[in-house]
Amino acid sequence: MILKHFLLPTQTIFRTHQPILPARRFANWMASLATAELCDSNPSLLAKGELRVLQPVFRHYGHCRSFSGPVVTLKVFEDNVLVRELLESPGDGRVLVIDGGGSMRCALVGGNLGQLAQNMGWAGILLNGCIRDVDEINACDVGVRALGSHPLKSNKKGLGERHVPVNVGGTVIQDGEWLYADSDGILISKSELSV
């Protein structure tokens, strides 16, 4: 069985006593295969623009190298109050996509927010901006992509817009679309895809 290298001996399925992956680990394993395979399997969606590949400008952070889920969008600039408010709500396997205007002057997500994202069940964060507390975020069981890191914290004014189209990595992303990220890159799809 191809999954045997990822199995935990203490977990079973359907009383057959065959080991299985925990749900999050299995989802991450599936996502690790996703981007190249999804591109190969969906040339017509790529041609129509229903499946888009983001520019390779984002750095990998967080413990999960691969993640996927429906998108929740947020547009802010050097202010992370709304980021915290969204991450305080149940993530249910969704991905928070933050258009931070590409600012490299402060961080919008730090270690506390990384831990909050993990605790609330968010699959990942895509940030058109910077993070901080890199070591803390790397220890969190969540996937994070950002332009870089910066030690300065952001403003706390509560300005921004939720659930609006955002421009991240040269691609317009709508609330409710799907994001697939792994070591090869990041895909945005109009709808959930299967291989």
Please enumerate, by residue number, every residue annotated as part of a binding site for substrate.
Answer: 110-113, 132
Three-class DSSP category at 183: coil
**How far apart (Å, rounded) are the C-alpha atoms in residues 96 and 157?**
20
**How far apart (Å, rounded) are the C-alpha atoms in residues 98 and 52?**
17
**How far apart (Å, rounded) are the C-alpha atoms in residues 128 and 38?**
23
Binding residues: 110-113, 132-133
Burial class from Cβ neighbours inside 10 Å (0-12, 13-18, 19+) for residue 141 reads middle
Cβ–Cβ < 8 Å for 154, 132 = no
Q: Which tokens go with 2?
A: 């191809």
* 3-state helix, strand and coil shares in percent for the chain, rounded to the nearest 5: 25, 30, 45
**How far apart (Å, rounded) are the C-alpha atoms in residues 130 and 152?**
10
Binding residues for Mg(2+): 133
